[in-house]
Homo-oligomer: A and B are copies of this chain.
Amino acid sequence: MPHFERIQYKPISVRELLVEMKNLSELMIDLAYSAALFNDKELAEDVLALESHVDTLAYLLDMEIMVAARGDPKDAEALIGVSTVAAATDKISDAAADIAAIVTRDIGVHPIVGAIFEKVEERLMKVTVKEGSVITGKHIGELGLAAGMSVDIIAIRRNKNWIINPDETERVFRGDILITRGAPIGIKEFKDVAEGKPGKLKE
């Protein structure tokens, strides 16, 4: 059974909450598809946990908005757009959880679901960092992925745990399993480099 966080009002910035909900919900789509493509139950369970977390954020944001409206209809009118965007991000995170549930509930990922990624401009790829790769020990920020190869690392699996949406200061180690997202050529090049083959990445 999932663990539910207790919801209690605390003053938090509406803006911070909305930023987190937007980012998480869109990341969750990629993570859910990754879980389906690579038939990865742990990653799928992380998506479900994130969905529950987004629900918590949604409750907090709704309370925050109520307080911010200060009983004033004009303020309520101004804030309804924010609440609509928050609800939309919540819907997106629900959709991601639906996809993840295919994996956790052993529904089985039909080959068509994998095939839809073959024609997509942005692809997901799983790669294990091998001995001798120039990227081992480097910060994600140092890799200059976004600028150099248009590749994002959206999750790292290390010691049976997933690090979701790692930040720039996170280092990459041998044995790490990386979920990357990017243009087909870029992620192919990155895979070569991560596997220790000679590649384009600057040392």
In the docked arrangement, what's the CA distance between A150 and B15, Å? Answer: 27
Which one of B36, B88, B119 contacts A96 once the chains associate, using CB atoms below 8 Å?
B88
In the docked arrangement, what's the CA distance between A147 and B186, Å? Answer: 8
**A1 sits at the interface (CB 8 A):** no
Interface of A is mostly: helix
**A125 sits at the interface (CB 8 A):** no
Stretch at the interface among A3-11, A21-29, A52-60, A155-163: A21-29
B-contact 0/1 string along A71-112, CB 8 Å cutoff: 000000111111011011101101110110110000111101
Number of interface residues of A (CB under 8 A): 48
Chain B residues within 8 Å of A26, by CB: 29
A58 to chain B, nearest CB (A): 13
**A183 sits at the interface (CB 8 A):** yes
Which one of B79, B108, B146 contacts A78 once the chains associate, using CB atoms below 8 Å?
B108
